[in-house]
Structure 1
């Protein structure tokens, strides 16, 4: 049996298709809904796994309820984080997928029965294994069993051994059931959600068992397994919103990718160009518009993608979907809610004097993301910025804060932003409003760099040519070797006979040894581990004379040795490699020297306490 025989689409759980959180007859008619003002624009709010795991009730009570009167709010949720990192839903699903590849000692043999289930709150009828089939054994059937008839028993019978993934699915189930019990007060909503979690986990058991039977998990099947986390997370959030009096609708996007008449997406594997993402944005937008006036709760997982969603996009596909949804809805703003107030001039956990950046350009945000600060993936940013939609980073624990706005044109007045939380000032605040400095000093910030960041766990590889007469193929051989090993170079410095490269320290020892052996064919190789990349980022730096000198002089005064230096062609980033042990000291030195506003006439060295 080939991997294509296990089709996730034919085994979709009760959430498949255009599922909705439809109101049963007993649901109170006074649930809070999105505004019906025809002039109101859509606002997309994306919540990460930690926020869904820890602050789901606060999200419903303090955030969503504050926006629906003025906006048409659409919510995108990541898979829920667990009580510990190891119990995070995505990590557990990856573990279950790995366990499904392990052959069981004995295979449960029974035939199950199919029972139609009408999912009143979570969508249209579907078929799942009946509870009776799960708790009793039946005589062996001579006919070929269906995939659902192979669903493993939740209680082992005599002579049977449950697959190892069964325990992992139980963990996923218990984590979500516990979250439901602690977050939902309405007994009817809680009961229906608990039943839905049970049904979905039974589906997952069946899907994993089918994969184990055929001893194959295709990329598409793995996508479907990982996407299961968003389905559970969004159902939980939908139930919590309804429990808090908000008329929410669960929306699964498993079948939203446009396909042709022959069942193909129209895009070859590995060829997902911009037209593909534009078509997904259009399809997602049309689907969500059908939810009005309800508040749609949308899965970040958007179904089968040519070449696999995980391979093409990675685990950040939820952010990408929120960006595509903002484009499809022509939203006024995309809000990404985290557990921090926004983007700071430096990591506030390491630099006490770091301050919030109210407005930042997409280029600056991209540079900070590349060099250690978790902002927004540049490709995700590109989708909304190219449509002139701002991105706001906000804090679920401080919803009244202004946050940081990644604005398509930060030099323009951004007062038409969508952040109208009742506890904040109206509209998107300008630089003078929320930079926490006096108006007379605000203009000076434009002459300063924007932020300083550090990327740790870096290895520097130096390659010196071993030929007296260097051929033109020296660099080509080095880059070809890096390409074969899939190594991404963060910084590089070259001369005719020497190459220095800074890469992430994420290669296994055997792979690193093989890489070095290959590079040694081109020259002498030296390795410098436990390094860090220090980056000073700012759009205004291209017009700021002497900033490089100030940066390096400050490091020299602080006895911080520099291994290599690089400045990009964009002229908005100056980076250097330093010893990892000096990372925190260097951050504070550069922040105090290059990013803090000093009183007029203030001169002298940076604080000696940092040395």
Structure 2
């Protein structure tokens, strides 16, 4: 596996393309990476992989300094404003996006012919976006499909710039707009649909020949609309399905962090980089507060034996974190799981020593307690509670129940608009109280279920720090133990648990030091 070398010099105007006999690597770049590290991506990272790999690039829409200033957020805002009578904000947004992308193009593209073609392309697409919004303004309607088209313009503009910059650096690239890639009718999104997408994406990439494809993360006319059915993780999913279709060696997700850590390094000074982690562990960490990669996206590549590597655009030479199934628990498929993924990076294959693996905190939680006021509890007590929550679209993160009492941890931000109404209805079944400013602490580890005393150690560590626990929950998979603590104690709880319970594998120290170098 080749990593980037900052000392190497790339000479522009030299044709560097994909070679048919080389293995595929699919690289996905997020909005912040494309927004802040465009020159590093085109000058350093991509060229360093082309010598020994065939590379596919998938890009998100450009992001600004904050998510609110990102292209996708502004496009969604434009779609809303187009339906407001008398508003011209949507037209202002299109003008701003046009100027922003033009400025970036002029900042990075040196070849005037390439720049002129890019400017014409950007201007044409932004004019089309403006006309689309004006049409929506007239008919006073934006369908889910129309909203998809509006949002998809962000990836179109971003990928056009990336493809042009690669050409400017001497890399023969090709911009691919996947907006109309789906050429069959599907009723719903099932595995058959995703298998079709993987095959279709592979065909589109292969048709590029020796050119480096730059694919829009936004793809096709998805049944039910892309935003509604898949959500904002569609760019990761596009990259994953491309990797599946091409039988790629690896899928790279480029971020602004070195990989996945034993805890959030911004909150825990002694947090260590994990060289390898299982998909099950990542899924738990993602659900309980860590922004990693959507579990469904992981499933698509992991099920066919393709590892995912989280990499840092600010430290391209770092090994990152590899997401791959636990080899020690997958004896039947060991022959198909390439041990070289670990060996080539000096990692230990015995991941069972990492028990537990990581700890995370999910803030902005509220606890909803319902206690039955009936002497003879109805068998419908729990059913009535969950029916009420379902009617108001309230999702429960954690739950602890008895015959007469239910305690639930909820995402306060997501239930803010419906919680008061739900509380009034729940009061029909018992006394209700709400505790705000809480946090969920989750200890995650694939091998915790085979280690005695982990839960006891967790609660002892918190008790010794005088941190009280409101709810305790252990997942059925036994790879996650979670509890709810007061939000004011969340940071201390995170550090205490990390300090006392997480076992550091020597290989992690080794790779952390090498990354720092």
State the TM-score, normalizing by the size of structure 2.
Answer: 0.91
Change (3 A) 1:85 1:486: same
Mark the runs of 5 or more structure 2 residues left unpaired by the alignment: 1-11, 329-333, 507-517
Change (3 A) 1:509 1:343: closer
Matches within 5 A, 1:304-323: 304-323=221-240
SS in 1 for 2:413: coil
CA contact (8 A) 2:352 2:447 kept: no
Matches within 5 A, 1:565-580: 565-580=472-487
In the TM superposition, what whole-angstrom CA distance separates every residue of 1:152-188 from its partner, at most 9, and x where no partner exists? xxxxxxxxxxx33211101111111111122222222
In the TM superposition, what whole-angstrom CA distance separates every residue of 1:63-87 from its partner, at most 9, and x where no partner exists? 1101111111001000001255433
In the TM superposition, what whole-angstrom CA distance separates every residue of 1:474-514 from its partner, at most 9, and x where no partner exists? 11111111111111111000000001100101146552210
SS in 1 for 2:223: coil
2:340 matched residue in structure 1: 416
Match of 2:51 among 65, 69, 76: 69
Match of 1:515 among 422, 427, 443: 422
SS in 2 for 1:305: coil
Change (3 A) 1:567 1:194: same
Please state how far the C-alpha of 1:280 moved relative to its aligned partner.
Answer: 1.1
1:250 matched residue in structure 2: 175
2:106 matched residue in structure 1: 181
Separation of aligned partners in 2, 1:213 and 1:427: 59
Match of 1:541 among 435, 445, 448: 448
CA contact (8 A) 1:402 1:429 kept: no
Separation of aligned partners in 2, 1:213 and 1:489: 41
CA contact (8 A) 1:258 1:283 kept: no
2:412 matched residue in structure 1: 505
CA contact (8 A) 2:354 2:504 kept: no
1:25 matched residue in structure 2: none
Please state how far the C-alpha of 1:586 moved relative to its aligned partner.
Answer: 0.8
Separation of aligned partners in 1, 2:454 and 2:414: 35
Separation of aligned partners in 2, 1:215 and 1:42: 46
2:28 maps to 1:46: yes
Separation of aligned partners in 1, 2:65 and 2:221: 30
2:490 maps to 1:587: no
Please state how far the C-alpha of 1:61 moved relative to its aligned partner.
Answer: 1.2
State the TM-score, normalizing by the size of structure 1.
Answer: 0.77
Separation of aligned partners in 1, 2:113 and 2:40: 21
Matches within 5 A, 1:104-253: 104=86, 163-253=88-178
In the TM superposition, what whole-angstrom CA distance separates every residue of 1:370-419 from its partner, at most 9, and x where no partner exists? 111111110111111111111110001111111100113443685433x9
Change (3 A) 1:396 1:452: same
Change (3 A) 1:290 1:444: closer
Matches within 5 A, 1:289-328: 289-328=206-245
Separation of aligned partners in 2, 1:302 and 1:479: 36
Matches within 5 A, 1:23-62: 30-36=14-20, 38=21, 40-62=22-44
SS in 2 for 1:531: strand
SS in 2 for 1:252: strand
In the TM superposition, what whole-angstrom CA distance separates every residue of 1:423-446 from its partner, at most 9, and x where no partner exists? xxx8344238xxxxxxxxxx7971
Separation of aligned partners in 1, 2:444 and 2:14: 50
Cα RMSD (Å) of the superposition?
A: 1.9
Match of 2:281 among 361, 364, 379: 364
1:439 matched residue in structure 2: none
2:74 matched residue in structure 1: 92
Change (3 A) 1:50 1:563: same
Matches within 5 A, 1:473-512: 473-507=380-414, 509-512=416-419
Separation of aligned partners in 2, 1:542 and 1:477: 33
SS in 2 for 1:506: helix
**Which structure shows the bigger proportion of residues in helix conformation?**
2
Separation of aligned partners in 2, 1:363 and 1:305: 27
2:365 matched residue in structure 1: 458
Name which of structure 1's ranges 76-85 and 480-489 shifts more when overlaid on structure 2: 76-85
In the TM superposition, what whole-angstrom CA distance separates every residue of 1:435-462 from its partner, at most 9, and x where no partner exists? xxxxxxxx79715200001100001100
Separation of aligned partners in 1, 2:505 and 2:28: 38
Please state how far the C-alpha of 1:319 moved relative to its aligned partner.
Answer: 0.7
SS in 2 for 1:300: strand
Change (3 A) 1:167 1:385: same
SS in 1 for 2:34: helix
Tell me the matched-pair count. 488
SS in 1 for 2:418: helix
Separation of aligned partners in 1, 2:213 and 2:354: 43
2:515 matched residue in structure 1: none
In the TM superposition, what whole-angstrom CA distance separates every residue of 1:550-588 from its partner, at most 9, and x where no partner exists? 110010000111001000110111000001111111111
Separation of aligned partners in 2, 1:215 and 1:447: 56
2:513 matched residue in structure 1: none
Mark the runs of 5 or more structure 1 residues left unpaired by the alignment: 1-27, 106-162, 260-264, 420-425, 433-442, 600-611
Separation of aligned partners in 2, 1:507 and 1:306: 26
Match of 2:304 among 387, 392, 414: 387
Separation of aligned partners in 2, 1:542 and 1:508: 33
Separation of aligned partners in 2, 1:94 and 1:235: 20
2:9 matched residue in structure 1: none
